[in-house]
Chain A
Amino acid sequence: MNLLDAMLQGLMLGGLYAIFAAGLSLIFGVMKIVSLAYGAFAVLAGFIALHLTEAGGWSPIVSLLIVVPLMAAFGWVLQRFILQRTLGESALPSILVTFGLAIIVENLLLITESADQKRMTLGWIDTAAINIGAVRLGVYPLGLFVSSLVILGILALVMARTQFGRAVRAISDDASTVELLGIRPKSVYACAGAIALALAAIGGVASGIQTSFSPTSGGLLLIFAFEAVIIGGIGSLWGTFLGALVLGIAQTVGASYFPSQGILIGHIVFLIFLAFLPQGLSGKVKRL
């Protein structure tokens, strides 16, 4: 595998990480909620989609029509009635509660779904590829990359142009003053929680098509998402996108030199960023 090829594959993989990390970027980067259950919820969405495809014979893409709204509603309820109570001066309560939720979800899935590796398929698209010059690109990874651009574009537009987006950014600046303007912070948080889990659902289903997944694969997804957010710079959505691409490229290029060590090399690149560019690519230094 030549370098250009590996880099392009990494870019495509980065697209998948970007979709998944965008939700985390919103709740962790912008709203300062540390959710350790994010990966487990993505896997949960993957299993729901899997059952829909098995029971209804649907394409996994069609299953998103049900999985995404379902997870968004779940995210809203979770944020409004559980995580909202953990918010305060310290980040510790939210870490503990989401850690507990992750364990519960993981074990419920282990009981109901077994520990076997599962995978969803898009049929012929799985293996289809197009030739661009000297390299071959998979249709599915390419579609995923384009989708990630579209999804992040829409999210960035929402953050920049809507009253909800302004309120989210204002809460990140100064939460107590937001209330003085007549904004209900709890509903802003709940909507952000809904968007985050909707993105986690898309990411979970997309990754379930790309590779196999099991009830315990959420942990790794979560780490990738945190790495993308931090490489990109906390608080910046496009930074997260870049961070996800860097991580994807590091993993595939690394794997082309040291087969089966790709993920480790991704972690090392992340640690290098943390050591030498802790404010991330976007350079937005924000208080946490």
Chain B
Amino acid sequence: MTFAVTDLSAGYGQLTALRNVSFSVESGEILAIIGANGAGKSTLLKTIAGQLEARTGSVVIDGEDVTPLSANARARRGILMVPEGRRLFPTLTVKENLQLGMSTGRKGHWTLETVCDIFPLVAERLNRVAGQMSGGEQQATAIARALVGNPEVIMLDEISLGLAPAIVTEFYDRLTEITQQGTAVLLVEQDVRRALSVADQVHCLLEGRTSLAGRELDFADIASAYFGTGTR
């Protein structure tokens, strides 16, 4: 599977928040998208997911252009997003949240049982109402809800936000199990060092533009691309 974003731009009203971003990932790869607040990271993910309309460019999965498709059609095509802030259905139970995640109709490795195997936090709380759980439990449920849809590309938007470092470490340890199934991961992360520790590729955004992209980059270069200092 090859997933490619080409020349993608998007915005809100008069504001252009994302300008001409391109990258591609293969099955099982992790692409870290880093950048300061307001750099366009979440805009990029929303545009890929189809929540936001692309102004230019295309999103292509295995040669199929999904840019004209709605968000729900993209999800059924295997492009799934774990949105920022988890966005569980608070009045539904954990199990019901996961059952809704199966609406993609995609068959594969991930089922209710297999996601429970890798997220014990979820397994123990299947009958709890989602809104009453802790942040870590909610985040685990949100990732599990996307996984049971058997994605080809899973987008994780700031999964570490507001969580204890120990829990975040556990989530990062689970990433290998996800990529082993051939799923590509797009990881938006504020914690640059943590993102770099797992990423195959790095894409740095600054004010909606790509400021640095590539593999095995030097941390000093990333720092200057992140803050927009130094020469490019």
Q: Identify the A interface with B (CB < 8 A).
A: 163, 166-167, 169-170, 172-174, 176-185
Contacts and interface: CB of A to CB of B under 8 A. Distances in A.
B83 A182 contact: no
A163 B99 CA distance: 8
Interface in B80-98: 80-81, 83, 87, 89-92, 96
A179 B103 CA distance: 10
A173 B80 CA distance: 19
A176 B51 CA distance: 8
A166 B130 CA distance: 13
A180 B75 CA distance: 6
B71 A166 contact: no
Contacts of A180: 49, 51, 71-72, 75, 80-81, 83, 87
A180 B145 CA distance: 11
Given A180-B75, A182-B76, A174 B100 contact: no
A169 B72 contact: no
A174 B97 CA distance: 12
Given A179-B70, A179-B72, A166 B99 contact: yes
B72 A173 contact: no
Given A169-B91, A170-B89, A173-B91, A163 B100 contact: yes
Contacts of B105: 182
Contacts of B90: 173-174
B80 A166 contact: no
Contacts, number: 68
Contact of B100 (A170, A172, A176, A184): A170
B144 to A, nearest CB: 12
B87 A181 contact: no
B104 interface: yes
Contacts of A163: 99-100, 103
Given A181-B100, A182-B103, A183-B100, A173 B81 contact: no
A184 B69 CA distance: 12
B101 interface: yes
B149 interface: yes
A181 B99 contact: no
Q: What band does the interface of chain B fall in when counting residues whose beta carbon is under 8 Å from A?
A: 20 to 34
A176 B75 CA distance: 13
Contacts of B100: 163, 166-167, 170, 178, 181, 183
A237 to B, nearest CB: 14
In the A-B complex, the 5 residue pairs with the closest CB atoms: A182-B75, A182-B104, A173-B89, A177-B87, A179-B71
Nearest to B76: A182
Contacts of B92: 166, 169-170, 173
Interface in B133-153: 145-146, 149
A184 B87 contact: no
B89 A183 contact: no
Given A167-B100, A176-B51, A182 B89 contact: no
Nearest to A183: B103
Given A174-B87, A181-B104, 8 more contacts: A163-B99, A169-B96, A170-B100, A177-B87, A180-B87, A181-B80, A182-B72, A182-B103
A185 B100 CA distance: 12
A179 B89 CA distance: 12
Contacts of A178: 100
B166 to A, nearest CB: 27
A184 B71 CA distance: 9
A179 B74 CA distance: 9
Interface string B100-116: 11011100000000000
Given A169-B91, A170-B89, A173-B90, A181 B101 contact: yes
Q: Which of B83, B96, B146, B149 has the most CB of A within 10 A?
A: B96
26 contacts: A163-B100, A166-B96, A166-B99, A167-B100, A167-B103, A169-B89, A169-B96, A172-B91, A173-B89, A173-B92, A174-B87, A177-B87, A178-B100, A179-B70, A180-B49, A180-B87, A181-B72, A181-B80, A181-B103, A181-B104, A181-B146, A182-B73, A182-B76, A182-B149, A183-B72, A183-B100
Q: Which of B89, B90, B105, B149 has the most CB of A within 10 A?
A: B89
B47 to A, nearest CB: 13
A174 B89 contact: yes
A181 B75 contact: yes
Q: A174, A176, A180, A183 — which one has the most chain B CB atoms within 10 A of its CB?
A: A180
Contacts of B101: 181
